[in-house]
Amino acid sequence: MRAFTYERASSVEAAAKAAASNPEAKFIAGGTNLLDLMKLEIETPTHLIDVNDIGLDKIEPTQDGGLRIGALVRNTDLAAHETVRRDYGLLSRALLAGASGQLRNKASTAGNLLQRTRCPYFYDTNQPCNKRQPGSGCSAIGGFSRQHAVIGTSEACIATNPSDMAIAMRALDAVVETVKGDGSRRAIPIADFHRLPGDTPHIETVLEPGEMITAVVLPPPIGGRQIYRKVRDRASYAFALVSVGAVIQSNGTGRIAVGGVAHKPWRVEAAEAELPNGARAAAHVLLADARPTEENRFKVELVERTLAAVVSEARG
């Protein structure tokens, strides 16, 4: 970990301004991802702006009947919130499938969306990795790639986004609200928020430098059976090999977003249109362009089978 300076921001505006004035700065929320990466010098900010005390820890109804979740709401609190449990069960379930109780107590909504990949080569600074060191190469291609992405990959990077929460947010059509250094604000649909790796895998979202997340907004509830199914080797405290977040309506239509397969939560509206024809049909469209490695080919079938289980659970 390199030496850094630290400030505790007093307001949203002050935090955004501080970030705009220092390109080497980073926000720190729960710190559960950032600090680990700093210890390994994968992240090397020279300045940290602590955003824990600027009033972004509230969950409030929106005028149109949705829910605004402050960027600093902890994963534990969000999962336990009465409205979330009642109307957005998928989100609650996805959160509780992630990390551990201790981590969820610290982890924030914004930090969770911005957590970085768990590719083991990304974590080993001796190894080439385009995401960590652009242009150095990708060690996972041709290497140990069991966990890696099967779709939307590039020649530069085959990493996944490991977030469980983001899968639920994607299926629920959340919107990410931000503020920039000049005080301007924007709302980014979650579908556009995370990027595919392309030839710039080090750029993971559409956030501009210094842009801060203030909230994540959920549209009004859509009902349906809401299921999050996380498939992993051990029963707890492990990242997903594959996960399926689904909202299935009684008429057989629904939404599905899949985790563990891509650099972003994977959702294909055309696949959802196939849902009434069964899970297999939907999965075929969902992963039509999959390009797995030898080691993670199983994920294609696993998605199909998990989706089938989820659909049958929703019907049952």
Partner 1 sequence: MQFDTPATTNPIDRLKVVGQPIHRIDGERKTTGRAIYAYEWNDPNVSYAYGYPVGAAIPKGRIKSMDVSDAKKALGVLAVVTTLDVGDLKKGDFNTAKLFGGDQVQHYHQAIAVVVAETFEQARAAAALVRVDYAEEKGAFDLEKAMDTAAKPEESQEPDTAVGDFDAAFTSAPVTLDETYTTPDQSHCMMEPHASIAAWNGDELTVWTSSQMIDWWRSDLATTLGIDKEKLHLMSPFIGGGFGGKLFLRADAVLAAFGAKAAGRPVKVALPRPLMPNNTTHRPATIQRIRIGADRDGRITAIAHQSWSGDLPGGGPETAVNQTRLLYAGVNRMTAMRLAALDLPEGNAMRAPGEAPGLMALEIAIDEMAEKLAMDPVQFRILNDTQVDPENPERPFSQRNLIGCLELGAERFGWNQRRGPGSRRDGNWLIGVGVAAAFRNNLLVPSGARVRLDREGIVTVETDMTDIGTGSYTIIAQTAAEMLGLPIDKVAVRLGDSRFPVSAGSGGQFGGNCSTAGVYAACVKLREAIAQKLGFNSEDVVFENGQVRSGNRAVPLAEAAGSDGLAGEDTIQWGDLSKTHQQSTFGAHFVEVGVDVATGETRIRRMLAVCAAGRILNPITARSQVIGAMTMGVGGALYEELAVDTRSGFFVNHDLAGYEVPVHADIPHQEVIFMNETDPMSSPMKAKGVGELGLCGVSAAIANAIYNATGIRVRHYPITLDKLIGGLPDVA
Ligand X SMILES: Cc1cc2nc3c(=O)[nH]c(=O)nc-3n(C[C@H](O)[C@H](O)[C@H](O)COP(=O)(O)OP(=O)(O)OC[C@H]3O[C@@H](n4cnc5c(N)ncnc54)[C@H](O)[C@@H]3O)c2cc1C
**Residues near partner 1 (CB under 8 A):** 1-3, 39-41, 118, 120-121, 123-124, 126-127, 139, 142-144, 146, 231-239, 241, 278-280, 298, 301-302, 304-306, 308-309, 312
Q: What is the DSSP string of the chain?
A: ----EEEE-SSHHHHHHHHHT-TTEEEESS-TTHHHHHHTTSS--SEEEE-TTSS---EEE-TTS-EEEETT-BHHHHHH-HHHHHH-HHHHHHHHTSS-HHHHHH-BHHHHHHPPP--HHHH-TTS-BTTTSTTS-BSSTTSS-TTS-SSS--SS-------SHHHHHHHTT-EEEEE-TTS-EEEEEHHHHB---TT-TT--BSPPTT-EEEEEEEPSP--SEEEEEEE-SSSSSS--SEEEEEEE-TTS-EEEEEESSSSS-B--HHHHHTGGG-HHHHHHHHTTT----TTTTHHHHHHHHHHHHHHHHHH-
With CB under 5 to 8 Å by kind, the binding choice for 158 among ligand X, ligand SF4, partner 1, none is ligand SF4
- Minimum CB–partner distance for residue 168 and ligand SF4 (Å): 24
Positions touching ligand SF4 (CB under 6 A) are 117, 119, 121-122, 129-131, 138-140, 157-159, 201
- Tell me whether residue 207 or residue 279 sits nearer to partner 1 (CB atom): 279
- Minimum CB–partner distance for residue 204 and ligand SF4 (Å): 10
170 binds ligand X (CB under 6 A): no
- Minimum CB–partner distance for residue 29 and ligand X (Å): 3
- Tell me whether residue 164 or residue 304 sits nearer to ligand X (CB atom): 164
With CB under 5 to 8 Å by kind, the binding choice for 98 among ligand X, partner 1, ligand SF4, none is ligand X
Site string for ligand X, 230-269 (x = CB under 6 A): ---------x------------------------------
- Tell me whether residue 205 or residue 249 sits nearer to ligand SF4 (CB atom): 205
